[in-house]
Structure 1
C-alpha cells in the first residue's frame, strides 16, 4: 500500500512539474527554434522583409546549418545559387562579400538572401506565396506560370504549381512560417 502511495505522489509531482514547465515557458520553441535571431532581425528590418519568412526559408533550406552547399551548388544558410548570388551582390553593392563568405558566414548570407527576398517581393507586388515560389524555382518560371494561368499565385492554389519540388517547398515554408508566427509573439 505504501508503495502505491509513493508512486501516486511521484506521479503527481511529475505531472505538476511538467505542467509548470510547459505553462511557464514557450515550450513549442524547443521544436521550432530560430537561430541567428539578431542577424535575421537586423537584415529583415533593413530590407523591410518579414523576419518569420526569412527564418522559415532558412529552416527549409538548411535547418540553420552553416557551410552547406547543395548538389546544385547553392550556398550557405539561405542556399543562394552562385549566379543569383553574383547578380545580387552586384545589384546590392555589398562591400567585401564573396561567394566563399556567403557559404561560411551566416550574417553575410542572411543579408544577401534577405535583400534578394525584397527584390522578389517588389517583382511580385508583395505576394508572399509567389515570392516563396520564385525563391525556389526562379522568378522567370513563376512569372511564366502566372502569365500562362498555370498557377494564380495564391496559397489556396499551391497544388497547381507545375513543379513538384517547388510545390512541396512552398508548402513547407508556409508551414514553418505559420508555426513561427504562432509560437513567437515578437521577434
Structure 2
C-alpha cells in the first residue's frame, strides 16, 4: 500500500514540476514557437516598414519556417507567394529577376518579396493590418469587395463576417502567432 502511495506522490510532484515548467518557462515557449531567419526577417521588415512580428507570424502560418514548400494552389516558399504575385512584386519593386526556384528554396528571397508585398497590402488598405492579412490570403480584390460592400468592416472583432472560411481562420491564426511572437521576442 505504501509503495502505491509513494508512486502517486512522485507522479503528482512530477506533474506539478512539468506544469511549472510549462507555465513559467520562456525556453519552453520559444521551443514551441520558434522563429527562424531572424536576421532576414528583421532586414526585410525594416526595409519596407512592416512589423517583423507580423512577417514571422505569416511565415509560421504559411510554411512553419520550412523552405521548399509548394501549396496545392502553387504558392511557393516560406511566405507561400504565388508566382504571378512574385512576378508583379519583382516588376513593381525593381528587384532583379526572381525565379520560382529561388522563391521556393531561398528564405531571404521569399522573405524579401513577401515583406514588400505585405507593405503594398498595408498601403492599399490604409495601414489596416487585419485587412492586409486577409488580403495576403484571399487577394486584395476580394478584400476590397468585402470592405466596399459592407460584408466585412476590416476589424478583428468582426472576422467571423469574412465570407471565406479559410481566410477567417487564416487571419485568426496569423494574429495569434503575431501576439505570441510579440510577447516572446520583443526585440525581433
TM range (shorter): 0.7 to 0.9
Q: Equivalent residues in 2 for 1:24-173 (5 A)?
A: 25-173=26-174
RMSD, aligned α-carbons: 2.3
Unaligned residue ranges in structure 1 (runs of 5+): none
Q: Deviations over 1:124-157 (max 9, x none)?
A: 0110000000000000000000000000000100
**1:100 positional shift:** 1.6
* Structure 1 stretches of 4+ moved >4 Å: 11-25
Q: 1:29 to 1:95 in 2, by over 3 A?
A: same
Unaligned residue ranges in structure 2 (runs of 5+): none
Contact 1:129 / 1:170 at 8 angstroms: preserved in 2?
yes
State TM-score, norm by structure 2: 0.87
Contact 1:62 / 1:78 at 8 angstroms: preserved in 2?
yes
d(CA) in 2 for partners of 1:172, 1:21: 21
d(CA) in 2 for partners of 1:78, 1:25: 26
Contact 1:26 / 1:183 at 8 angstroms: preserved in 2?
no
Contact 1:64 / 1:77 at 8 angstroms: preserved in 2?
yes
d(CA) in 1 for partners of 2:141, 2:18: 54
